[in-house]
Amino acid sequence: MSAIPSAMNPSMSLRAPTRLDRCAHDARNALAAISAATEVLARDDAPPAVLHKAGAVVARQAHELAERIGELMTHARHGTAESERALVVSDDMHLLARLAGLLSHAGYRIDLAVNTVTGYEALVREQPDFAVIDLRTSAGEARSLGRLARGAGFDGRLIAIEDAVATRGLPATSSAAGFDAVLARSFELKVLRAAIPFD
């Protein structure tokens, strides 16, 4: 990667459980909206158009409240402690989805980046606990992410995904500079668990 543009392209975030305070805030707002709309529906003198709008508000906010309750239940199962954050960088949608599913199921909050520039920006901006980087991303430019991230002060764990890894551990090449471990693209779950601190 020759240069990192200053313009920021935010990485995509999975719709994982939101932070507890935001989730509770949204749930309270939904309850307040339902309460207000219910008062309108109880009025005998309300015009039909107003009653229709109030009914739509109740339906919409009931759906919102159900989603927030589901997220609160997820928080309750996993505890209120802040989850560790992970970044996945890949332009291979199948690999991106596979890693996102495995990591989110393990309780991590996931950010996704589909090119080298947004991956670098997310590493520097979000400072995740660890990142899994597909070295094939952006026609191989992702190979420089380890070195660039370390140079920018990132001290989290960096895991590279390579097309093939002939030997265990880091390959003796400069392409893996800055990475803590390298996994083959056809990695098994137990290998990912060994490279990343699952709870």
From the candidate CATH numbers 3.40.50.720, 3.40.50.2300, 3.10.310.30, 3.40.50.300, the one assigned to the domain spanning 83-195: 3.40.50.2300
Looking at residue 160, what is its pLDDT? 92
Contact 146, 179 (CB under 8 A): yes
Reported as a single tens digit per residue, the pLDDT across 31-81 is 888 988 888 898 888 899 999 999 999 889 888 888 877 776 666 555 544
Which residue from 133, 94, 88 is spatially nearest to 111, judged by alpha carbons? 88
For residue 16, what pLDDT band results from cuts at 50, 70 and 90?
Answer: very low
- Whether the pLDDT of residue 139 is over 90: the answer is no
CA distances from 101 to 86, 108, 161, 189 (A): 12, 10, 16, 12
DSSP line for 130-178: EEEEETTTTTTGGGGHHHHHHHTT--SEEEEEES--SSSS--SSGGGTT
State the DSSP H helix or E strand holding residue 16, giving kind and residue range, or none if neither. Answer: none
Contact 166, 137 (CB under 8 A): no
